[in-house]
């Protein structure tokens, strides 16, 4: 397994076309100056900026991802976006089951599972988000909640399929709150997830699967959060909106 950390920017519902292009330009300039950065970098702009950002980052080490998609491939689903449409804009990744989708759009584990299966069928790499809310955290239910989420979200995902899945552990209480999980807390959940993946698949899969952490990652706490080997990178919200901050986080991930 490459030791590069996977650093994913989730812009959520931020940035129009011009701002998105400006950000991509800033990233490109930085990469040109610094040559190869030892990290796998993914930008997930809103749908409306995918094509424009793709044009900017083609030929660089930056990859493109979407923040959501529908679980059908074509048809009368007004307002929805298919996996094929994402691929046609240059997406390699797609974030699925983000807690904001679960909270505001009633996405259940069953819906997330349908999306994961179709994304894999259509050749996209899903970044599957799971995590407990504050009440569950306080009630010490973290492990049972993520156990249930991961079992349901990965239902019928084959061993071949799981090789293209990334899991993002995003405790809901840490998202946008400025209260990140400690490296120790995240490490213990990631270890739990690996054991679970080992039971569902095998040791090889559990070692190779990328499990990234999200929730109030900043340039200040990134190095500490990315130090445990079991934490393969980060899913970054607020701090990914400014290129300078995002680049600092990428640099903090290069842990030798």
Q: Does residue 131 interact with ligand 13P by CB under 6 A?
A: no
Q: In this structure, what DSSP letter does residue 219 have?
A: T
**Residue 36 class from Cβ within 10 Å (0-12 exposed, 13-18 middle, 19+ buried)?**
exposed
The residue range among 80-88, 148-156, 170-178, 193-201 that interacts with ligand 13P, by the rule CB under 6 A, is 170-178
Concerning whether 98 is annotated as a catalytic residue, the answer is yes
Among 176, 179, 202, 208, binds ligand 13P (CB under 6 A): 176
Query: Tokens 């807390």 appear where?
Result: 185
Mutual angle of helices 47-57 and 17-34, in 10-degree steps: 30
Q: Does residue 89 interact with ligand 13P by CB under 6 A?
A: no
User: What are the distances in angstroms from CA 21 to CA 18, 54, 57, 245?
Assistant: 5, 9, 10, 17
Active-site entry in 100, 107, 132, 170: 170
Q: State which residue, 46 or 214, has the beta carbon closest to ligand 13P.
A: 214
Number of alpha carbons in the 13 Å side-chain half-sphere of residue 95:
32
Q: How far apart are CA 212 and CA 168, in angstroms?
A: 5
**Contact set for ligand 13P, span 189-218 (CB under 6 A):** 214-217
Q: Does residue 170 interact with ligand 13P by CB under 6 A?
A: yes
Residues tagged active-site: 98, 170
* Residues in touch with ligand 13P (CB under 6 A): 10, 98, 170, 175-176, 214-217, 235-239
């Amino acid at each position: 397994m490459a030791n590069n950390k996977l650093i994913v920017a989730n812009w959520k519902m931020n940035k129009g076309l011009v701002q998105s292009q400006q950000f991509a330009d800033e990233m490109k300039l930085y990469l040109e100056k610094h040559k190869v950065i030892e990290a796998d970098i993914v930008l997930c702009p809103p749908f409306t900026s995918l094509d424009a950002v793709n044009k900017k980052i083609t030929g660089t080490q930056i990859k493109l991802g979407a923040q959501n998609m529908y679980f059908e491939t074509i048809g009368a689903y007004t307002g929805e976006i298919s996996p094929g449409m994402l691929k046609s804009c240059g997406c390699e990744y797609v974030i699925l089951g983000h807690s904001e989708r679960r909270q505001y759009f009633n996405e259940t584990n069953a819906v997330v599972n349908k999306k994961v299966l179709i994304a894999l069928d259509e050749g996209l790499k899903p970044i599957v988000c799971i995590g407990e809310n504050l009440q569950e955290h306080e009630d010490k239910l973290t492990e049972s909640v993520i156990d249930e989420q991961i079992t349901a979200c990965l239902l019928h995902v084959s061993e071949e399929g799981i090789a293209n899945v990334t899991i993002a552990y995003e405790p809901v209480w840490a998202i946008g709150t400025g209260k990140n999980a400690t490296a120790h807390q995240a490490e213990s959940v990631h270890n739990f997830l690996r054991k679970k993946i080992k039971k569902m698949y095998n040791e090889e899969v559990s070692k190779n699967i990328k499990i990234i952490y999200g929730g109030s990652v900043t340039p200040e706490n990134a190095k500490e959060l990315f130090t445990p080997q079991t934490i393969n990178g980060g899913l970054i919200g607020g701090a990914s909106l400014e290129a300078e901050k995002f680049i600092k986080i990428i640099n903090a991930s290069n842990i030798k």
